[in-house]
């Protein structure tokens, strides 16, 4: 398998890699914050780009990397508007090299592909951070900037995180480290304290539509429901559209409607749909949609109202029955944590997907009976 065929852990299936996205929607504020720091010569060496998964954090990271590394060029090669925007021309040499993974002053840290097991490794390991340290130990050929993108920083194991901390404590000159983080609280406090933060918010409906159009993603007739479930995430929208996400979510809600006794054949049907050849993506989206359902259930109990409007006509009735008060909200929040840990373990030991789904649904039924 040659390099171009190897999957990329930081790329959403069905979309372009973030480095190829030309226009970024909905994140003007963090762009201006970074640009202001650069213009006023207060550019910190490490920036943590945070927000929900799939909203454009990595796209922003690559935009920053292209901007900074374009400053290594002679002034005649630079777009004269750069002092007022992070944008550089798509045909700029730096942009072309980054898109082709050929920029010598950019280093990417991400989960590696295991050719033997045909899947990505679970974590970013300490070896990858050691390679980053070696990269920083070499001076840039032109004496300019060197940039690293860690995507996602949440995926570092403990050894990798500690190795990164040492780099952050004594950073080389003219180095910029961009940490893409979906869940910053999973990072060590000492890492967070050494980074400035660029907070990316979930996209508005308009920005989400524009981002999908840029990717040539045709929105389905379930557009409104998808927007609610995706909650402003381009990545989640693509996943829902590509995998009949509304149908899967509807199956989950229909099962919940049957509480206290879910139909065993319906449970088995949903579980069986997640196993077999080419079912890996459906398995993952089923897990995520179930966790989304539990999260919305817990929020409803805590707030005693839907934080948005319901995605499905039957969702509100189910929420009222299963999460009538704050006590039930705590129950579902605890259940969410338990299921998250169980599914992580299941991935680590390669449990059969259908058994994982069966166990998850039966645990849900059992939890619903607790007071």
Q: What is the CATH number of the domain that holds 124?
A: 3.40.50.300
Q: Is residue 219 part of a domain?
A: no
Left, alpha or beta for 111 (phi > 0: left; psi -120 to 50: alpha)?
Answer: beta
Most confident of 12-16, 103-107, 239-243: 103-107
Label residue 24 by pLDDT band (50, 70, 90). Answer: very high
Same domain, 151 and 27: yes
pLDDT computed for residue 259 by the predictor: 93
- For residues 258 and 184, membership in a common domain is answered with no
Average the pLDDT over each of 26-30, 130-134, 204-208, 347-351 and give the range with the smallest value.
347-351
Q: Is the pLDDT of residue 195 over 50?
A: yes
pLDDT band at 311 (very low <50, low <70, confident <90, very high): low
Q: Are residues 260 and 336 in the same domain?
A: yes
Same domain, 77 and 163: yes
DSSP letter, residue 198: E
| Mean pLDDT computed over 275-291 | 89
Written as six digits, the tokens of 126 are 């300490």
257 in the same domain as 191: no
Same-domain pairing of 322 and 248: yes
Is the per-residue pLDDT at 1 higher than 60? no
Domain end marker among 199, 230, 259: 199
CA neighbours within 13 Å on the CB side: how many for 179?
31
Q: Are residues 191 and 260 in the same domain?
A: no
* Cβ-based neighbour number of residue 155 at 10 Å: 24
100 pLDDT band, cuts 50/70/90, is very high
| 193 in the same domain as 120 | yes
| Contacts for 343 with CB less than 8 Å, ≥ 6 apart | 287, 356, 360
Is the same domain home to 108 and 251? no
Domain annotation covers residue 224: no
- List C-alpha distances in Å: 200 to 34, 48, 152: 12, 10, 15
Residue 150 within a domain:
yes
* Structural domains counted in the chain: 2
> Is 214 contained in some domain?
no
Question: Which domain range does residue 103 map to?
Answer: 3-199
* Helix (H) / strand (E) containing 30: helix 28-39
Residues 8 and 65 in one domain: yes
Model pTM score: 0.85
Distance of CA 177 to the CA centre of its chain: 18
Domain assignment of residue 318, yes or no: yes
For 106, the enclosing helix (H) or strand (E) is strand 106-109
Q: Are residues 189 and 131 in the same domain?
A: yes
The count of other CB atoms within 10 Å of the CB of residue 215 is 16
Q: Where among 147, 168, 199 does a domain terminate?
A: 199
Q: Are residues 195 and 252 in the same domain?
A: no
End residue of a domain, out of 141, 176, 199: 199
């Amino acid at each position: 398998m040659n390099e171009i065929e190897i999957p990329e852990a930081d790329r959403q299936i069905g979309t372009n890699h973030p480095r190829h996205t030309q226009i970024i929607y909905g994140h003007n504020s963090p762009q201006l914050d970074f640009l202001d720091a650069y213009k006023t010569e207060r550019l910190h060496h490490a920036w943590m780009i945070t927000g929900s998964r799939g909203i454009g954090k990595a796209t922003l990271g690559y935009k920053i990397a292209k901007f900074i590394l374009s400053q290594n060029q002679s002034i005649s090669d630079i777009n004269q508007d750069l002092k007022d925007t992070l944008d550089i021309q798509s045909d700029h040499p730096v942009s072309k090299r980054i898109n082709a993974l050929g920029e010598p002053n950019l280093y990417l840290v991400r989960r590696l592909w295991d050719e033997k097991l045909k899947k990505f490794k679970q974590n970013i390991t300490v070896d990858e951070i050691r390679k980053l340290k070696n990269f920083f130990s070499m001076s840039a050929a032109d004496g300019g900037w060197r940039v690293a993108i860690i995507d996602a920083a949440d995926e570092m194991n403990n050894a990798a995180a500690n190795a990164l901390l040492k780099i952050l404590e004594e950073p080389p000159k003219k180095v910029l480290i961009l940490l893409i983080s979906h869940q910053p609280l999973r990072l060590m406090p000492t890492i967070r304290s050494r980074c400035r933060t660029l907070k990316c918010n979930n996209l508005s409906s308009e920005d989400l539509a524009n981002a999908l159009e840029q990717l040539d993603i045709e929105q389905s007739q379930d557009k409104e429901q998808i927007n609610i479930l995706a909650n402003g995430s381009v990545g989640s929208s693509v996943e829902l559209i590509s995998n009949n996400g509304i149908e899967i979510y509807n199956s989950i809600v229909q099962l919940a409607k049957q509480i206290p006794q879910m139909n065993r054949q319906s449970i088995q049907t949903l579980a069986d749909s997640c196993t077999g050849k080419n079912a890996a993506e459906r398995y993952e989206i089923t897990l995520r949609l179930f966790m989304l359902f539990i999260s919305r259930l817990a929020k409803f109990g805590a707030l005693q109202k839907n934080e948005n409007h319901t995605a499905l006509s039957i969702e509100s009735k189910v929420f009222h029955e299963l999460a009538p008060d704050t006590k039930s909200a705590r129950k579902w929040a605890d259940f969410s944590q338990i299921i998250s840990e169980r599914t992580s373990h299941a991935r680590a030991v390669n449990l059969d997907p259908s058994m994982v789904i069966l166990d998850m649904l039966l645990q849900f039924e059992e939890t619903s009976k607790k007071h």
